[in-house]
Chains A and B, each alone.
Chain A
Amino acid sequence: RKEVEQDPGPFNVPEGATVAFNCTYSNSASQSFFWYRQDCRKEPKLLMSVYSSGNEDGRFTAQLNRASQYISLLIRDSKLSDSATYLCVVNSYSSASKIIFGSGTRLSIRP
């Protein structure tokens, strides 16, 4: 089983829709969590950190469920510009090698 697993998608949704995807992790000692966004043939960029209490940044909401060991990303009122691959990142604090990137979920927003 992979340490961090994501549904690869693609998720294909119409503009304006709400879309959500999850990321599961296997290491219960994991301590910090992030969502990065990666556009086609570009480098990853931080979208948002995920806090224990959940956090929101505009149309984006991230949640952490420690009991079930998953994090989620919700995108409301999706825009064409949201089309990208979303990478889940999990860090167990023990070493740099324990910063684990998921393989990503591809999201495509159609007009």
Chain B
Amino acid sequence: GAGVSQSPSNKVTEKGKDVELRCDPISGHTALYWYRQSLGQGLEFLIYFQGNSAPDKSGLPSDRFSAERTGGSVSTLTIQRTQQEDSAVYLCASSLSGQPTDTQYFGPGTRLTVL
């Protein structure tokens, strides 16, 4: 079956511009996560959506970052007024129900470069 998909795969933008990153989770998965991975680093948690519950936004690094999930499926991560330090790979993952023992399935990521 189809896995997690993300678009675009690569995004190059100029400092100060806004960007939108999209994630399509696996159909039927209620939990969705966004992470950021800088070169040679581990994954940094950004935000978590579970069903209709309020999202856990505790990992968002600044108020320039926001995310929404429409209809419990597709999610969009928006970065406003991008900075060079925002350059990273943004990974989305979904899991069946958000249980701690659930496997997270990752998308291929969006590589963001801010010039």
Q: Given the known inter-chain contacts A42-B108, A97-B59, please indicate yes or no for A32 contacting B100, CB distance below 8 A.
A: yes
B contact face: mostly helix, strand, loop, or mixed: loop
Query: Which A residues form the contact surface with B (CB < 8 A)?
Result: 4, 31-32, 42-46, 49, 87, 91, 93, 95-97, 99-104
Q: Are A97 and B56 in contact (CB under 8 A)?
A: yes
The total of Cβ contacts below 8 Å across the A-B interface reads: 52
User: Which residues in B have their C-beta under 8 angstroms from that of A42?
Assistant: 108
Q: Given the known inter-chain contacts A45-B106, A97-B48, A103-B41, please indicate yes or no for A31 contacting B58, CB distance below 8 A.
A: no
Query: Which B residues form the contact surface with A (CB < 8 A)?
Result: 31, 33, 35, 40-43, 45, 48, 50, 56, 58-59, 91, 98, 100-101, 103-104, 106-109
Q: Tell me which of A31, A43, A46, A97 contacts B91 (CB under 8 A).
A: A43
